[in-house]
Amino acid sequence: MSFSFKTLAVSALAVLSTASNASPVHLRRQASGNTTIVYTNANGLNFTQMNPSLPNVTIFATGGTIAGSDPDSSATTGYQAGAVGVESLINAVPLITTKANVAGVQIANVGSEDVTSSILVKLSKQINKVVCNDPTMAGAVITHGTDTLEETAFFMDATVNCGKPVVIVGAMRPSTAISADGPYNLLEAVTVAASPKARNRGAMVVMNDRITSAYYVTKTNANTMDTFKALEMGNLGQVISDTPFFFYPPATPTGKHVVDISNITVIPRVDILYAYLDMPSDMLYNSVKSGAKGIVIAGAGAGGVSTPFNSAIEDVVNNHTIPVVQSFRTGNGEVPLSDVSSNTSTHIASGYLNPQKSRILLGLLLAEGKNITGIAEVFARGTDD
């Protein structure tokens, strides 16, 4: 029996590699709930179909509103995030199986406020292993809550660099809501991840028919469905009638830093401090005392802080050897190095990266073992002066 199954599995892979137009290959392997698994690959990914004419995509689920549930179908607030599993998400969109052979992996099932750096490290390593290193896999989709979606997207953009599409998708309405946006967003995300035209574009966010670079995208509204935008940089493309259309050929964002995640196990603590009138310097020292290895300032205007707080930054950099990145609280814009530079300390400008993305990058650079000078050099690549 085992020999017969192995023979069938080898035959299926052989057929898959030729990308013929044959009928779907059904290798009945096991049952999971009401879902029949017809093929399990070498990495343990379970597929409900194996049609050799379609690309293979893995969906990594982390929870969030897209997996949210509420007894009231009109509820768009107060629902339980992360209540629905990846299998149910896939089964709710039957059209997905006309776009790709999909496997689902439940990485976590939480609201995005509870996604941690350890989850991100695990997720990135999984994608590198089971998607990047498998020539039969076309791409990956990550389902995620929207509140911290841009941070996860930026992390994946920095740590998954095999050229295969990594698409992050979420929803602004729970799965039980009238006109829930999650199912169609998921369908479009899988369609983009399966498309050869999506290769070599880094990680992308696909929501509300828009395809946006993970490097630049941010959540611009707490409630509306058209919240994810890159205001100055624009979208990479659009999904029209479930077909991705890209406006430009693949390009790498200026200043993008690529990180090898294979040897990273822990991301050091990085704090974000929000600038305001009369901001006390003890906030900075409290972060240092509490164990922060790096600090990001969401500064006024182009990274601005008061004169006393600026002196405290220089003390922390010079005497505590802790890097401090100055970003903006405005939601959009740039912090050029010329606006924060000093002759007495190494100030670091975030360029076009907002505080939350600056925090992700700073944490990765610290995990790589870079010192303040090396960190400043990486951030400087993303500024215009």
Which amino acids are annotated catalytic?
65, 146
Burial 315-346 (b: 16+ CB within 10 A, else e): ebbeeeebbbbbbbbeeebbbbbebbeeeebb
Residue 20 annotated as binding? no
**Roughly how many angstroms between the first and final C-alpha of the chain, as a whole number?**
67
Q: Is 73 annotated as a binding residue?
A: no
Distance CA 170, CA 174 (A): 10
Q: Is 112 annotated as a binding residue?
A: yes
Residue whose C-alpha is closest to residue 102's, from 153, 138, 156:
138
- Residue that has been written with the tokens 């990145």 in this structure: 325
Residues annotated in the binding site for substrate, as ranges?
112, 146-147
Residues annotated in the binding site, as ranges?
112, 146-147
